[in-house]
Amino acid sequence: MDRFRIHGGRPLQGEIAVSGAKNSALPALAACLLTGEPVTLSRIPPVRDIRTMLQLLEHTGARVDVDGQLVTVRAQALDRPEAPYEVVKTMRASSLVLGPLVARTGKARVSMPGGCAIGARPINLHVLALEQLGAEIRQSHGYVEALAPEGLKGGLVQFDRITVTGTEDVLMAAVLARGETVIGNAAREPEVQDLAELLNKMGARIEGAGTSTIRVQGVGELHGAQHTIIADRIEAGTFLIAGAMTRGDLVIADCVPGHLDALAVKLRQAGAEVTEVRGDALGVRASGKLQATDITTEEFPGFATDLQAQYMAMLTLAEGISFVTETIFENRFMHAQELARMGANIRVEGRRAIVAGAGELTGAQVIASDLRASASLVLAGLVARGETVVDRVYHIDRGYERIEEKLARVGARIERES
Ligand code: EPZ
């Protein structure tokens, strides 16, 4: 199992480029199942979750051609419209094929994702939404089976709570449903907008993506298309925080500055300078002491839960007491006890953590528990005195493309050990 060995204390300087967004590439790949014609996606990040999704598409019967970050999917015949447990247990986003498969083939069998480190994460809202479109859903033997032999029928889907992949799943089903679908309390994440843009290129008729109400006029069939995936705002945010924590001077290139407004506001409050240096690049600079700031995670455009762990790592250095409130997932503070091993002073009380800035961290051996927690431990290692060893970095490889190489190029002392 790979691990990272990090020597802290170096300010990050220079330019670092972000990859395409994992959380946009995953639904975009699932959307390829909606047509028999070739769909070509570019800027697909070569991370582990993407490889899992490509395997899943091939399992359903689609043909997948990969040329670097360019992926072409031809889903002519889907003779196995299912997502088996073996795949779903490694990546819960596999449930994103449920909507496209039942819409395209009239049936789908998807393993229910078990619990995960950050929360229970059920897919009950996905199921309810597909039932609103007329799918007959049965759950047995750990699988959700969806049937719509006559095809799906448009209708009103009102989510009880905002769900990103739930919105994406029902959006992909609604584009082939007869008549109009209105999705209320929809997720407004940029990844949802990116998916809608791809689907419209494939011949769908979607309006309102990016708002809380999305309208879809169903069409008989979709055609092939070409699309470039948006930049990974979570990777960009991770590097912005790294720049501030290391008191560096960093430019985050190939990103969409507007997708990081909530984070930029908080970094400025903490005393860092965040500027838009180009239309597709943000600069971060910090020299003095960072100040305590309170954050509450929210759905987009609020502060992203996927940046909470990384920001908490920064707050361990800040002057004063910060309150971190996690509203999206019920168990997303696993990184706190590992940061405490590095000298951080954090008290977790349910969905809130109180961080008393210690001013300094010391290197230690720590274990990653999930994707974003592992990123926060890497950031802590970049500033800690002495050596930090981060174990189980397979978590970070799920969503970051060769992060150690990117960080080393801007001055970090970090190595991967296999
Ligand atoms: C997406 O997960 C992202 N994953 C997550 O990123 C991200 O943390 C999350 O959205 C929130 O922004 C992908 O896009 C692949 P949700 P998703 O459905 O869609 C509850 C990362 O680090 N809920 O918006 O699974 C759920 O338990 C990952 O890249 C139900 O109760 O999240 C959670 O508490 C981690 N029933 C809340 O809603 C449902 O059917 C929001 O979850 C669906 C969700």
CA end-to-end span of the chain: 6
Which pLDDT tens digit goes with each residue over 329-384?
998 999 999 999 999 999 999 999 999 997 799 999 999 999 999 999 999 999 99
- CA 217 to chain CA centroid, Å, is 28
In this structure, which residue's CA is closest to atom 43 in ligand 1? 123
Cα–Cα distance between 178 and 328 in angstroms, integer? Answer: 33
- The predicted structure's pLDDT at residue 286: 97
- The predicted structure's pLDDT at residue 13: 97
Pocket of ligand 1 (CB under 6 A): 23, 26, 93, 119-126, 161, 163-166, 305-306, 328-329, 371-372, 399
Which pLDDT tens digit goes with each residue over 32-71?
999 999 999 999 999 999 999 999 999 999 999 999 999 9
In this structure, which residue's CA is closest to atom 20 in ligand 1? 121
Q: Please state, for a pLDDT cut of 70, what percent of the chain lies above it.
A: 100
Which pLDDT tens digit goes with each residue over 125-160?
999 999 999 999 999 999 999 999 999 999 999 999
Instruction: Out of 56, 163, 235, 263, give the residue to mutate to test ligand 1, the one with the largest number of ligand atoms within 8 Å of its CB.
Output: 163
Cα–Cα distance between 269 and 300 in angstroms, integer? Answer: 20
Catalytic annotation present for 32: no
Of the residues 9, 63, 115, 116, only one is catalytic, namely 116
Cα–Cα distance between 202 and 265 in angstroms, integer? Answer: 37
Pick from 175, 104, 110, 181: nearest CA to 146:
110
Cα–Cα distance between 73 and 36 in angstroms, integer? Answer: 9
Q: How far is the CA of 170 from the centre of ligand 1 (A)?
A: 14
246-269 mean pLDDT: 98
- The predicted structure's pLDDT at residue 90: 86
- The predicted structure's pLDDT at residue 233: 98
Token readout for 239 is 């590097």
Cα–Cα distance between 330 and 350 in angstroms, integer? Answer: 8
- Which has more confidence, 414 or 288? 414
Q: Which amino acid is at 181?
A: T
- The predicted structure's pLDDT at residue 315: 98
- The predicted structure's pLDDT at residue 193: 98
- The predicted structure's pLDDT at residue 418: 87
Q: How far is the CA of 371 from the centre of ligand 1 (A)?
A: 13
184-212 mean pLDDT: 98
- The predicted structure's pLDDT at residue 251: 98
- The predicted structure's pLDDT at residue 395: 95
**pLDDT at residue 114 greater than cutoff 80:** no
**pLDDT at residue 1 greater than cutoff 90:** no
- The predicted structure's pLDDT at residue 385: 97
Which pLDDT tens digit goes with each residue over 259-296?
999 999 999 999 999 999 999 999 999 998 999 999 99
**pLDDT at residue 226 greater than cutoff 80:** yes
211-231 mean pLDDT: 98
- The predicted structure's pLDDT at residue 117: 79
- The predicted structure's pLDDT at residue 255: 98
3-state class (DSSP) for residue 296:
strand
Strand order in the sheet with 3-7: 365-367, 387-391, 3-7, 413-417
HSE-CB for 70 with a 13 A CA cutoff? 5
**pLDDT at residue 121 greater than cutoff 90:** no
Instruction: Out of 22, 23, 118, give the residue to mutate to test ligand 1, the one with the largest number of ligand atoms within 8 Å of its CB.
Output: 23
For residue 118, which atom of ligand 1 is closest to its CA? 35
Instruction: Out of 327, 328, 330, give the residue to mutate to test ligand 1, the one with the largest number of ligand atoms within 8 Å of its CB.
Output: 328
Across the chain, what does the average pLDDT equal? Answer: 97
**pLDDT at residue 116 greater than cutoff 80:** no
pTM, entire model = 0.98
- The predicted structure's pLDDT at residue 68: 97
**Worst-scoring range by mean pLDDT, 29-43, 78-92, 162-176?**
78-92
In this structure, which residue's CA is closest to atom 7 in ligand 1? 306
Q: How far is the CA of 126 from the centre of ligand 1 (A)?
A: 11
Residues 61, 62, 66, CA angle at the centre, nearest 5°? 135
State residue 186 phi and psi, 5-degree precision. -75, 155
Q: Give the bridge partners for 252, in sequence order.
A: 16, 282
**pLDDT at residue 24 greater than cutoff 80:** yes
Q: Peptide bond preceding 190: is omega within 30 degrees of 0, i.e. cis?
A: no
